[in-house]
């Protein structure tokens, strides 16, 4: 079993992306053990806090560093990633030379009510993660346009095409992690 750190880029209690992350976890239950980062408790990034980093920052960094891979599930806000997600990425990638993303396999996906799903947000996310030392998986790309009834009462994805795309991402990410694992 691989350990996967999960960051959901939305704090909303009934977040589509939290539901999506939970559905991914269920589909990958034979492959992964998932642990979720609490990005809502992070203070706004402030370099002055590094001498005594807040506990939430230390927990985030430890979660990412101790995982086999990182899954980021994000909505798209204003053609980019949400500010709360960028804040978490800034904390995890610093201080200089101590990025928690160094050599870390990363996959991303997301759901949005917009026609192009989260395509632009994911492109921005990959452009942020690469220079931070992460190894973002480039494909398959999964952009989900969320429609009413996407999830059933148990949280499962109801649309077979979407579920198949998510399963392909899970399988590809599992192989990506294995390929990048130190020998």
Query: Over the stretch 53-77, which tens digit does the pLDDT of each residue have?
Result: 999 999 999 999 999 999 999 999 9
For residues 145 and 159, the answer to whether their CB atoms sit within 8 Å is no
The tally of CA atoms less than 13 A away on the side-chain side of residue 51 is: 1
CB within 8 Å of 28: residues ≥ 6 apart: 4, 34, 170, 174
Segments in the chain below pLDDT 50: none
- The CATH superfamily assigned to 2-180 is Flavodoxin domain (3.40.50.360)
Hey, where are the domains in the chain?
2-180
Q: What pLDDT is attached to residue 183?
A: 61
């Amino acid at each position: 079993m691989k350990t996967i750190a999960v960051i959901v880029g939305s704090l909303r209690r009934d977040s589509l992306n939290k539901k999506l992350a939970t559905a991914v976890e269920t589909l990958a239950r034979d492959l992964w053990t998932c642990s979720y980062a609490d990005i809502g408790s992070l203070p706004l990034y402030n370099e002055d806090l590094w001498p005594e980093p807040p506990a939430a920052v230390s927990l985030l960094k430890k979660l990412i560093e101790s995982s086999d891979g990182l899954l980021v599930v994000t909505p798209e806000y204003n053609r980019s990633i949400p500010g709360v997600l960028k804040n978490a990425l800034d904390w995890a990638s610093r201080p200089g030379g101590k990025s928690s993303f160094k050599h870390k396999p990363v996959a991303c996906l997301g759901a949005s009510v917009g026609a192009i799903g989260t395509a632009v947000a994911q492109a921005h996310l990959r452009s942020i993660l690469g220079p931070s030392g992460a190894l973002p998986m480039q494909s398959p790309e999964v952009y989900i346009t969320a429609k009413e009834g996407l999830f059933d009462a148990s949280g499962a994805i109801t649309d077979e095409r979407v579920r198949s795309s998510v399963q392909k991402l899970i399988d590809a990410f599992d192989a990506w992690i294995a390929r990048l694992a130190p020998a």
